[in-house]
């Protein structure tokens, strides 16, 4: 029998239903792949025993024809999701031994639908980063390399482990979180499909908070159809999260393959950046042509406040983070340094427990909220945020989706931008406005750059219209003929 990790989510699902193989077979192959991919450092915690136990239950359910929609499907989960009785670290020293006594709503939904946890995935510390290099557990390595190069590349971030594991064929899909691009940017860097749902589509309950008004959970998968299947099973209205939506959850899978004929695609002129590479421009042009060929109408539109999105984001997100991370004080859980003085206890606990990037953002956030600066920074940023949202709602009066590149560049070298936070932050320039406006967006692998590295196109949709995104994404997927990774170099390295 061929290695079952070659099957994508819906193939695995169909194979299990047809009893072509057992859940146990599928899970064993994925556990093997997980264990032999440790060079990528994608997982912080592996849960093979739990996975095998769940596999046996799934096989029983198949035998009794009690199988649920995701029965037996192996998934990796970003370490920002609290998983009951399984170490959950946020990739921080602060929570390096934290075992939650509760399960996040989103993962709970998945387990109830029969999915199986393979392990917890590495990410940037508290999801703050765009390269997965801020993790206390070390960087994740991108399974992709430049043509004829052995240099290690970053997988993007913060959901670097989620994207790298799916690209490497470990698990058929994974969960990430996206606050400013943390699903879409790594998806673009690893040739995977990553969706950030509309704010409120997925419950945030049980997800370790970074910036509450921006955070949203989403799926990373090998293809568009898988993505739609995973999303459908993640989201729910949750009375434990006031910001979660009670809108009906459609069958996203049925949107995949639906015609886009007559629909309108907006091309925001502000996303054309100085010094954008030929590869990116070419991909964008091809994207427009594919959609046009499928019957969509291409319209140039303007989102005039785009240039303020990044500064606005880097005020609002750190402001919320500085407050959200106050609970890590060494008193009740997590890393703690004893002292005879309460302030010294806080200082030592937090100095040791947090890494540099987290500290930087706590400092920025504390500053922009402090008395005398609040109006000039935080309040102004909130006003700008409203203007950005307005740009989008006006654009969506004219078009059904927007098409942009997902990132301004392909994956970069490990350590390349570590000491240059500003250039790191610029990686989020195309993704951040979407979070500020609370919209859904998806990154689809669309072409490769001159070095053979994947590039992604981003589709941005109307609020709660993930369905149209999936229809469009499917057109791009079918047109691009993107070839996924075939050289599994990391296995040989073992």
Q: Between 88 and 404, whose beta carbon lies closer to another protein?
A: 88
User: Rounded to 10 degrees, what is the CA torsion of 142, 144, 146, 148?
Assistant: 120
| Size of site (CB under 8 A) for another protein | 44
Q: With CB under 8 A as the contact rule, which of the stretches 369-377, 397-405, 419-427, 474-482 interacts with another protein?
A: 369-377
The region of 46-54, 156-164, 186-194, 314-322 touching another protein under the rule CB under 8 A is 314-322
Distance (Å, whole) CA 69 – CA 198: 23
* Nearest distance in Å: CB 140, another protein: 22
- Options 277, 366, 389, 484; binder of another protein; rule CB under 8 A: 366
Catalytic residue among 22, 54, 58, 78: 78
DSSP string for 282-295:
HHHHHHHHHHHHTT
When asked if residue 371 is in the footprint of another protein (CB under 8 A), the reply is: yes
Catalytic residue, from 135, 182, 443, 446: name it: 182
Tell me which of 3, 6, 66, 239 binds another protein, using CB under 8 A: 239
Q: Does 100 bind another protein (CB under 8 A)?
A: yes
In the complex with another protein, the residue whose CB is nearer, 378 or 425, is 378
Tell me: does residue 241 bind another protein (CB under 8 A): yes
- 158 an active-site residue? yes
- Spatial CA neighbour of 10 closest among 259, 258, 184, 256: 256
CA dihedral sign, ordered 140, 48, 84, 171: positive
Extract the tokens encoding 66: 């009690």
From 21-29, 148-156, 292-300, 326-334, span contacting another protein (CB under 8 A): 326-334
Nearer to another protein, 259 or 370 (CB): 370
Span of 217-225, 234-242, 296-304, 412-420 interacting with another protein by CB under 8 A: 234-242
Q: Does residue 172 touch another protein according to CB under 8 A?
A: no
CA 191 to chain centre: 13
Q: Which stretch binds another protein (CB under 8 A): 56-64, 150-158, 278-286, 370-378?
A: 370-378
- CA-CA distance, 259 to 291, in Å (whole number)? 10
Q: What does the alpha-carbon distance between residue 140 and residue 131 come to, in Å, rounded to a whole number?
A: 8
Distance (Å, rounded) from C-alpha 40 to C-alpha 97?
22
Q: Give the whole-angstrom CA distance, residue 311 versus residue 349.
A: 30
247 binds another protein (CB under 8 A): no
Beta-strand relationship, 401-405 and 454-461: antiparallel
Q: Which is nearer to another protein, 101 or 262 (by Cβ)?
A: 101
Select from 19, 38, 53, 240 the one that contacts another protein (CB under 8 A): 240
CA–CA gap between residue 174 and residue 118 (Å, rounded): 10
Neighbours of 243 (CB within 10 A): 15
* Beta carbon of residue 61, minimum distance to another protein (angstroms, whole number): 29
How far separated are the first and last CA of the chain, in Å rounded? Answer: 23
Helix residue ranges, H only, 294-379: 309-324, 342-353, 356-369
Residue 427 beta carbon to another protein: minimum distance, rounded to whole angstroms: 24
333 binds another protein (CB under 8 A): yes
Q: For residue 187, which of 152, 224, 212, 213 has the smallest C-alpha distance?
A: 224
Q: Which of 22, 92, 104, 158 is catalytic?
A: 158
Q: Look up 182 and say whether it is catalytic.
A: yes
Residue 489 lies near another protein (rule: CB under 8 A): no
Which residue among 66, 147, 370, 393 contacts another protein (CB under 8 A)?
370
Active site residue 53: no
- Pick between residue 11 and residue 347 the one whose CB is nearest to another protein: 347
What burial letters (b/e) apply to 185-212, b meaning 16+ CB within 10 Å?
A: bbbbbbbbbbbbbbbbbbbbbbbbbbbb
Select from 208, 294, 301, 358 the one that contacts another protein (CB under 8 A). 208
Q: Which of 104, 130, 190, 446 binds another protein (CB under 8 A)?
A: 104
Quote the strand ranges of 82-233, DSSP E: 116-121, 173-177, 193-196, 217-221
Q: 217-221 and 173-177: which strand pairing?
A: antiparallel
Q: Which residues bind another protein (CB under 8 A)?
A: 81-82, 88, 90, 95, 98, 100-102, 104, 204-209, 211-213, 239-243, 319-320, 322-323, 325-327, 329, 331-333, 340, 342, 346, 366, 369-371, 374, 378
Active-site amino acid positions: 78, 158, 182
């Amino acid at each position: 029998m061929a290695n079952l990790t070659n099957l994508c989510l819906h193939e695995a699902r169909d194979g299990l239903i047809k009893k072509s193989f057992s859940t146990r077979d599928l899970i064993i192959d994925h556990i093997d792949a997980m264990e032999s991919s440790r060079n990528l450092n994608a997982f912080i915690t592996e849960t093979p025993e739990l996975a095998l136990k769940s596999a046996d239950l799934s096989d029983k359910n198949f035998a009794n024809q009690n199988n649920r929609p995701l029965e037996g499907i192996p998934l990796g989960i970003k370490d920002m999701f609290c998983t009951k009785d399984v170490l959950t670290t946020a990739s921080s020293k602060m929570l390096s031994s934290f075992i939650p006594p509760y399960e996040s709503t989103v993962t709970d939904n998945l387990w109830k639908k029969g999915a199986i946890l393979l392990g917890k995935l590495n990410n940037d510390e508290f999801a703050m980063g765009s390269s997965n290099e801020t993790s206390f557990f070390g960087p994740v390595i991108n399974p992709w390399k430049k043509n004829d190069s052995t240099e290690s590349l970053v997988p993007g971030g913060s959901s670097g482990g989620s994207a790298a594991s799916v690209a490497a064929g470990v698990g058929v899909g994974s969960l990430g979180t996206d606050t400013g691009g943390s699903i879409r940017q790594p998806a673009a860097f690893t040739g995977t499909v990553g969706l950030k749902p509309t704010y409120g589509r997925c419950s945030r309950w049980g997800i370790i908070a970074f910036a509450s008004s921006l955070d949203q959970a989403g799926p990373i998968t090998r293809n568009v159809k898988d993505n739609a299947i995973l999303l459908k099973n993640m989201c729910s209205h949750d009375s434990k999260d006031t910001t979660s939506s009670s809108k009906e959850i459609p069958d996203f899978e049925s949107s995949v393959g639906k015609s886009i004929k007559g629909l309108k695609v907006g091309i925001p002129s502000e996303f054309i950046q100085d010094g954008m590479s030929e590869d990116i421009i070419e991909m964008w042009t091809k994207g427009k042509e594919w959609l046009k060929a499928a019957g969509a109408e291409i319209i140039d539109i303007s989102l005039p406040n785009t240039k303020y999105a990044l500064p606005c984001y880097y005020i609002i997100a750190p402001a919320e983070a500085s407050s959200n991370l106050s609970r890590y004080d060494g008193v009740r859980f997590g890393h703690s340094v004893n002292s005879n003085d309460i302030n010294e206890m806080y200082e030592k606990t937090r100095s040791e427990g947090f890494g540099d990037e987290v500290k930087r953002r706590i400092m920025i956030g504390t500053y922009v909220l402090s008395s005398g600066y609040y109006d000039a920074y935080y309040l102004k940023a909130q006003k700008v945020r409203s203007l950005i949202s307005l740009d989008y709602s006006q654009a969506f009066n004219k078009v059904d989706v927007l098409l942009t590149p997902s990132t301004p560049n392909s994956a970069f070298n490990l350590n390349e931008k570590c000491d240059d936070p500003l250039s790191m932050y610029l990686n989020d320039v195309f993704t951040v406005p979407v979070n500020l406006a609370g919209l859904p967006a998806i990154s689809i692998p669309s072409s490769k750059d001159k070095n053979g590295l994947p590039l992604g196109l981003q589709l941005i949709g109307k609020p709660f219209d993930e369905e149209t995104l999936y229809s469009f994404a499917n057109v791009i997927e079918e047109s691009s003929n993107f070839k996924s990774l075939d050289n599994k170099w990391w296995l040989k390295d073992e």
